[in-house]
Amino acid sequence: MKACHFLLLLFVCTDIIFGTKDTEDEETRKRILDQLTKTRTVLLDDYHLVTRQVATDVYMFRSYRTVSVVFYPVMRDVTDARFTFQSEELHLNNIGSCEPQEVIINLKHGSYPAVNPDGYDFPKDFYDPGKREPIYTLELLSDGRNKTYSIENPKPGNWYALIYIKWEDPRTQKVEQQGLVANCQTILYSDLQVKRNEDIELMDCYNGLTEINYADLPALFKCMSVDRVDPIALNISIVNTSVGDNELFFRVQALSIPTVEENIIYCAFNPRANNFQTITFIPHPNAWHYIHIGPIDGNTSSIADCESYYLRTDIDELVNHTVVDFMRDDKGRFFTFDYGVPTTDIQDTTSLINITSSEIKTFRFKINQFLDIGGSLSIAASLLMSVKYYMGFKREAEKETLLAFTEDNQFFKVVLCVDIGHPSIPLESGHCRYNDRVSPALFVLNSTDSDSIYDKTFIPFPDSGTWYITVRLFCDQSVCPCRTAANNTKYYVDAEGRKDIDDSVLGTNETRLGTSECNATVVLTVSSTSCVSGKCSNHGNCLVNTFGALMMSFCSCVSGYGSWDCSDSSRMDSRAYMLLSVLLLTLSNILFFFSIYVATIRLYYTEAMMYAFTMIFSTFYHACDAPSQVAYCIIRGNILQFGDFYCGLMSFWVTLLAMSIINERIRSSLQLIGAIVIALLTTWNMHSFVSFLLPVAVGISIVFSSWYLDYRKHRSLKYPRSYFFKHMPIGLILVTVGLVSYGFLQTEQNYKIVHSLWHMIIALSVGFLLPDVKRANDVNPFLPSSGYYKMPFSSIFRRSPAPIAND
């Protein structure tokens, strides 16, 4: 009957636990909705509410697996985008309190922000983030207070917010046990309001603006360009110039309304001196352009004169400028596709581009929003040289000075520019020019430099839109001063001033004329993959994270590696340190031999087997859970983990039953019931403190109830006084120290030490908690009784004597 009562009690407690888990999601949802009723969107005058995100879960940054992404659509003609954020903490249990967290929000147009919140550097072959669209960063506390962020004249399209709790080094964080600390969840409310300019006048980009009344300024116009890279010569005429004395500014910007900082052209002119202006600029093909004209207050000396845009020397360079659309070659996997010159060869993923020095070639391709922005775009280019070049290319002089060789003394370089929305003009200096803006080129390939005939870059989370790659060839019209071989067929790079090269081989220092016309072949590869080339070096796994309809690939690093592609080992422990940690966690289980020995000599054979299984599973689980450099797994890690937690809980259960005063039939029944219930609890949540607390609490109740009933019945203690006043207190002190260390003192940095001490303390405590009552009272509890080793092994399998029937 008692067994039935205990069985009923265990099942009732288990039902309560699992019932709580079943309703947890619904209660959390209600709690979120109740808390968010305090939030009210304040709609400003002349603003339009575009989108709202009610409850976005926010987690501490560990990798891109733990970030949250929200996108905000912005329409055209917007003068102000006002983002509102409010973060707060949800307290999901009644333990402790929730401290406000520092929430970081990265905002970017066109694609997900590519950031490294954990402080790692981008790999060296990654595209410079400073050359891409700017990332706006906002910080706020999860204290329920609103915070707004405004962006003036934002670009239309999708804006993406990357949201996470500020990164903290996990090595310094405490290992918190579920059920012992406050269960807090950070949530974020956000909305977007925009203000549009409804007074924008439509115009024709190619007919210009005539008879603009000075009294009507400032004025804003917009027009659509055609799908060409040809420059636009915009004619402007101002009338009624006597109304004002100020000079006028002229600003043009593609896609969005121009500002002082963001524009294609920004110049000034005096309409009284010349009320007719012709301003030439290179537009974005097939895009809206906004033109802002108005009076200037103050000094105009720092602003360019619009007269300088009448005859453009850089426009003449576009006479022989061709644009070729790349063909897309999809591979049927996430973010995996190639772009190249249209071809019917399904095996070819590269493009051979023949180019002469008298032309500019532009190649364009499209990155689709949502579908393509979650991978990494790779652009690689190289010069296709002759066989003789490569034969000489490998030759070396002393001190790693390289010998390069080309035919006919023809030396050249190729400049490649990459842009989004428009092409740039490659310059011989290795820069790219687009109207007034000059920036470094993507690649400069030089035939005279062995290190520069090939280059490659990765662009993580490429921006959606039309991309342009412009290629231009420049010839060396004069080569040297340098030293060459006597027959003028060999060119020594950086050989000037060398004293260790035979003068009979090298000629004198003289300038050799090059050529003004040349041609070359460029090998160009444009491809996209998940992560970096579809992998994460050799130290991580390439995974995909989803946020509703949004997806991104990322690297989940292992073994202490970090950075975008898991190639940074700067924070990784040494192999000796990792091996020492594994040895501590595994060899500390040796003390379970003491528990097995004590249980065996005291005739607790079931308990001894349970301690043996605990030792085995704990040892092999920690050996498998180690960094991959030193890990050893005999079976799958999740199986070993289950065995470690399950056998650990069962050891507590059988030890408490051994301490109780119950007959063997009830004890064996409770051991079986506990095995089933503990298996369910471990499967439900092995990390929860409830999974540990429930069997231990029931076991302690059984122990004290049985002791009380036995004492009430016999009016004396069954166990010797030495157990109650000597051995058991020592065991309880050891268990208490172990539990405190396990629950409150562990951090990622001291885990291997504290957890190893936990193994040893718990193993030692068993020797003091198991009562020695199955043997004579005068036997030393830590030594086997006399005659213990004389028991024949065959008696284990001997048939028990049959009971004698009563007549």
What would the 3-class secondary structure string for 479-548 be? EEEECEECCCCCEECCCCCCCCCCCCCECCCEEEECCCCCEEEEEEEEEEECCECCEECECEEEEEEEEC
pLDDT at residue 205 in the model: 87
Could you tell me the pLDDT band of residue 475, with boundaries at 50, 70 and 90?
A: confident
pLDDT at residue 317 in the model: 59
| Alpha-carbon gap, residue 786 to 771, rounded angstroms | 18
Most distant CA pair in the chain, distance: 139
pLDDT at residue 616 in the model: 94
Could you tell me the pLDDT band of residue 397, with boundaries at 50, 70 and 90?
A: very low
pLDDT tens sequence across 635-684: 998 899 999 999 999 999 999 999 999 888 898 999 999 999 999 988 88
| Alpha-carbon gap, residue 419 to 424, rounded angstroms | 7
pLDDT at residue 497 in the model: 38
How much is the average pLDDT of 495-508? 41
CB–CB of 459/377 below 8 Å?
Answer: yes
Cα 709 to its chain centre, rounded Å, is 60
CB–CB of 17/684 below 8 Å?
Answer: yes
pLDDT at residue 496 in the model: 40
pLDDT tens sequence across 742-751: 777 777 777 8
| Alpha-carbon gap, residue 507 to 487, rounded angstroms | 9
Could you tell me the pLDDT band of residue 630, with boundaries at 50, 70 and 90?
A: confident
| Alpha-carbon gap, residue 790 to 807, rounded angstroms | 38
CA count, 13 A, side-chain hemisphere, 721: 1
Could you tell me the pLDDT band of residue 562, with boundaries at 50, 70 and 90?
A: confident
Least confident of 66-70, 259-263, 689-693: 689-693
Least confident of 256-270, 304-318, 745-759: 304-318
pLDDT at residue 157 in the model: 93
Distances (CA, A) of 263 to 153, 257, 289, 434: 11, 8, 10, 11
Question: What domains lie within the chain, and their CATH numbers?
Answer: 45-196 (2.60.120.680), 201-316 (no CATH), 321-529 (no CATH), 531-572 (no CATH), 575-773 (1.20.1070)
| Alpha-carbon gap, residue 556 to 542, rounded angstroms | 6
The structure tokens listed for 450 are 């062995």
Phi first, then psi, for residue 800 (nearest 5°) are -70, 145
Could you tell me the pLDDT band of residue 538, with boundaries at 50, 70 and 90?
A: confident
pLDDT at residue 54 in the model: 83
CB–CB of 244/287 below 8 Å?
Answer: no
Q: Which residue in the block uniquely carries the two structure tokens 């003036």? A: 152
Kindly tell me if the per-residue pLDDT of 38 is higher than 50: yes
pLDDT at residue 321 in the model: 87
| Alpha-carbon gap, residue 536 to 561, rounded angstroms | 10
H helix or E strand, kind and range, residue 475: strand 465-475
Nearest in space to 445 (alpha carbons), one of 457, 435, 436: 457
Kindly tell me if the per-residue pLDDT of 395 is higher than 70: no
Top-confidence range, 240-244, 395-399, 512-516, 759-763: 759-763
Instruction: Identify which has the larger pLDDT, 413 or 802.
Output: 413
3 state DSSP class of 594:
helix
pTM for the model stands at: 0.79
Residues 6+ apart with CB under 8 A from 665: none
SS (H, E, C) 183-200: CEEEEEEEEEEEEECCCC
pLDDT tens sequence across 577-622: 888 889 999 999 999 999 999 999 888 899 999 999 999 999 999 9
pLDDT at residue 642 in the model: 92
The structure tokens listed for 256 are 């969005």
Work out the mean pLDDT of the chain and round it to a whole number.
Answer: 81
Could you tell me the pLDDT band of residue 720, with boundaries at 50, 70 and 90?
A: confident
pLDDT at residue 318 in the model: 60
| Alpha-carbon gap, residue 46 to 39, rounded angstroms | 21
Distances (CA, A) of 76 to 73, 229, 484: 10, 22, 60
Residues 6+ apart with CB under 8 A from 171: 747, 748, 749
Least confident of 106-115, 492-501, 706-715: 492-501
The structure tokens listed for 174 are 């405490």
CB–CB of 393/493 below 8 Å?
Answer: no
| Alpha-carbon gap, residue 593 to 193, rounded angstroms | 68
CB–CB of 547/567 below 8 Å?
Answer: no
Instruction: Identify which has the larger pLDDT, 440 or 497.
Output: 440
pLDDT at residue 775 in the model: 76
Exposed, middle or buried by CB within 10 Å (0-12, 13-18, 19+), for 176?
A: middle
Exposed, middle or buried by CB within 10 Å (0-12, 13-18, 19+), for 636?
A: exposed
Phi first, then psi, for residue 520 (nearest 5°) are -155, 170
Top-confidence range, 150-164, 300-314, 507-521: 150-164
Phi first, then psi, for residue 746 (nearest 5°) are -80, 135
pLDDT tens sequence across 426-469: 998 889 999 888 999 999 998 766 667 889 999 999 999 999 99
| pLDDT more than 90, % of the chain | 36
Nearest in space to 342 (alpha carbons), one of 330, 355, 325, 354: 325
pLDDT at residue 493 in the model: 41
Residue 480 CB neighbour total at 10 angstroms: 16
CB–CB of 231/318 below 8 Å?
Answer: yes
pLDDT tens sequence across 177-233: 666 677 888 999 999 999 999 889 999 888 888 888 898 888 999 999 999 888 888
Phi first, then psi, for residue 356 (nearest 5°) are -115, 165
Could you tell me the pLDDT band of residue 367, with boundaries at 50, 70 and 90?
A: very high
| pLDDT more than 70, % of the chain | 81
pLDDT at residue 548 in the model: 80
pLDDT at residue 199 in the model: 87
Least confident of 381-385, 655-659, 697-701: 381-385
pLDDT at residue 105 in the model: 95
CA count, 13 A, side-chain hemisphere, 111: 26
Kindly tell me if the per-residue pLDDT of 631 is higher than 70: yes
Phi first, then psi, for residue 571 (nearest 5°) are -105, 10
Could you tell me the pLDDT band of residue 315, with boundaries at 50, 70 and 90?
A: low
| Alpha-carbon gap, residue 59 to 637, rounded angstroms | 26
